[in-house]
Amino acid sequence: MTLIKYAIFILLPLYVGIISFAVRAEQHVERVGILLPPTTMVQSAGYYMAQHKGFFKQQGLDIDLRSSRSRQSITQAVDDGDAEYGVSNAEVLIAKAKGRALVAVAVLFQHSPAALLVLKNKGMNKLADLNDKRVLLLPEFQDIEVISLLRKYHIQSINISSPSVTRGMTILVNNQFDALSINLTRGPYNAVRQGVEPIIFLPKEYGIDFYSGILFTNEQEANTHPERVAAVRTAVLQGWGYALTHTEETLDVLLGLSQLPSSSSLDDARNKMKYQLITMRDFILPDFVPLGYINQQHLLDMQQQLIEFDLIAQGSDFSQFIYIPPRAKIDWQVWGVWAKVIVATLLFNGVWLCYLLMINQRLKREVRERKRAEQHVRYAAMHDNLTGLANRALLMDTLEHILPLAQNGKISPVLLFMDLDRFKQVNDRYGHAAGDELLIAVALRISRLLGAPGELLTRLGGDEFVILLPNADLQYAAQLSDKIERTLLQSFALSVCNVSIGISIGYSIYHSNMSADELLTGADNKMYAIKSEHHQKRKKIVC
């Protein structure tokens, strides 16, 4: 009988708390709308997964996800109250500068995937060739990055945005237009599938680096319902985190929402969506930047560029533009019940639980220290301790893993073997500290030029570097080599002085039955042949 009373004492408050919490949650469900851009479902994958996995419901929200029409202004709709939240690109800044009361809640794409595409065989190999050409853009400022690129370089193109034109490679092949704005998460995929060779002008490579996928709301929502804004932000970031780490499940959900009729259509759509979902990581950067993060200085740089391109007026008011989450409030009425349950449980199991916790913490600490030591040893064995780049061991290990794929014809690896020109002069004249500083700066510049999946920059030792392109052709390798050479021709501001160096680059492309050593040796030999030419016209260090 005593046991029954004790069980009632423990379980009754627990049941009361659960029922109370459930009733209160049911009473506080709030319905709000999020207006998504008229892009593919994959680019809004995080929102659909937040709804599918119940992250919105966990925050007490009933979300209405709506895709905007192609010519509908999302910023105007949110400012007018047609939807509480919207998703757009840097157009939000333009709308804010024009007086719309908007607040940026989170940024999902740290780099915009917007770009400009032309066909290689049309004689437009550089940006200046687009003067007086016909460029098909999206309506309004949906292509703000491309518009900014054209204005920055004073390209007087004929910009057209027409909803009646079917966007695709066909309009370029048939000479209806000369250039087409694309989203890089899906554009090159379609070009390759249609057998055309594109040239892509990426605004980021020309200094136009804008945020995209900006979740925003209006000032009334931010001021009146700050807790709801925080709840929406939390659920959205949970959804994106889940979508980026559960690829196959996310594809299943998106395909279910798209309702494609045939299995062949499903297979093709799944391949396209998977390509987009993987490619999006290069623009979201979830491994390097917290999801939703907004950098105040980067936002100021975007504003200044929009002013320079005459897209917004000087002195535009951007005060209170970035949303600041409120401090969490504790609902003591709900948590009071749970506190009673917790106290009763701790009293009953306190001594035993403390003992177990001490033992568990000791074991965890030992495991953590062992794992940390193993990770440190493993990392040190595979990376260069000066630049942090991969070393020869990691390069050779990577080659051993991918060469079987190359043998089967699935990929075509290329190695670029690089050796700095005049590095020894810097080392001899200014000492090893200056040489190390120069090597770190060189590694940083080259790293910024890489971005395709799987590309690996390695320092073999001394002033020798190698780039592994896991699946490339000689044209891409030549373009990358040219970028590297031009980048390293710019002087380096070392602590002792400014120096100018050069670089010699040799390449080796995989041929049947080649080993990793043969591939590396081939690139090394070609590099030395080129370096001997450079010795004939060697320049002095500029200081």
For the chain, 543 residues long, give each residue's pLDDT as a single digit of tens.
Answer: 444 444 444 444 544 454 444 444 444 678 899 999 887 788 899 999 999 999 999 999 999 999 887 667 899 999 998 999 999 999 899 999 988 999 999 999 999 999 998 988 888 888 989 999 899 888 777 889 999 999 999 988 888 776 667 777 888 888 889 898 888 887 665 666 666 788 889 999 999 999 999 999 999 999 999 999 999 999 999 999 999 999 999 999 998 888 766 555 778 888 888 888 988 999 999 899 999 999 989 998 999 999 999 999 888 888 788 888 776 555 566 567 677 778 778 887 777 878 888 888 888 888 988 888 888 888 888 999 999 999 999 999 999 999 999 999 899 999 999 999 989 899 899 999 999 999 999 999 999 999 888 899 999 989 999 999 999 998 999 999 999 999 999 999 999 989 999 899 999 999 888 999 999 999 999 998 888 776 555 444 444
State the amino acid at position 287 in one-letter form.
D
pLDDT at position 269: 83
DSSP secondary structure code for residue 508 in this structure: E
Whether the CB-CB separation of 110 and 289 falls below 8 Å is answered with yes
Distance CA 226, CA 70 (A): 30
Whether the CB-CB separation of 325 and 230 falls below 8 Å is answered with yes
Distance CA 109, CA 114 (A): 11
DSSP for 469-500? Answer: ESS--HHHHHHHHHHHHHHHHS-EE-SS-EE-
Distance CA 496, CA 500 (A): 13
Of 282, 245, 251, 284, the C-alpha closest to 269 is: 251
Whether the CB-CB separation of 278 and 244 falls below 8 Å is answered with no
Neighbours of 195 (CB within 10 A): 8
Of 202, 284, 216, the C-alpha closest to 244 is: 284
DSSP secondary structure code for residue 326 in this structure: P
Q: pTM of the predicted model, to two decimals? A: 0.56
Distance CA 304, CA 312 (A): 9
Distance CA 418, CA 458 (A): 10
How many C-alpha atoms does 349 have within 13 Å on its Cβ side?
9
pLDDT at position 400: 92
End-to-end CA distance of the chain: 92
Could you give phi then psi for residue 541, rounded to 5 degrees?
-70, 135
pLDDT at position 233: 95
